[in-house]
Amino acid sequence: MPAVNLAQKLSTFSDHWAPRVVTEFNGHDVMVVKVKGEFRWHQHDDTDDFFLVLRGRITIQMHEGNVDLGPGELFVVPKGVQHCPVAIEEAHLLLIEPRGTPNTGDQATAATRAVI
């Protein structure tokens, strides 16, 4: 099986806030996403939310306080905690979530998950 080249996968799309699945493991989707601007306040009632910054900077806003992340830094938002990711400039992230977790915390408003 070939290695997954994250930079190559990120080069295949340009839209923001639309995660792409690059592989799966143990019932989880491993995704890359390009982000810019403010996403939306949301929470995941049943799962934590894993963010690893590959390029750029993001702030994860939470009522309990903001977390600023740069390249090589990660943060896990605990399940049930409202949060809103923000990126002033485009940033690239690696996300890991249980397969099928809606990115907005609500299946009705979630982005369709593409596999690349």
Instruction: List domains and CATH numbers for the chain.
Output: 6-115 (2.60.120.10)
Per-residue pLDDT of 5-54, as tens digits, reads 999 999 999 999 999 999 999 999 999 999 999 998 988 898 999 999 99
Per-residue pLDDT of 98-114, as tens digits, reads 887 765 555 555 566 67
Does pTM surpass 0.85? Answer: yes
CB 50 within 8 A of CB 116: no
Distance CA(80)–CA(44), nearest Å, equals 5
How would residue 55 be classed by pLDDT, with cut points 50, 70 and 90? very high
Task: Give the DSSP letter of residue 65.
Answer: -
CA atoms within 13 A on the CB side of 52: 10
Strand 114-115 to 20-25 pairing = parallel
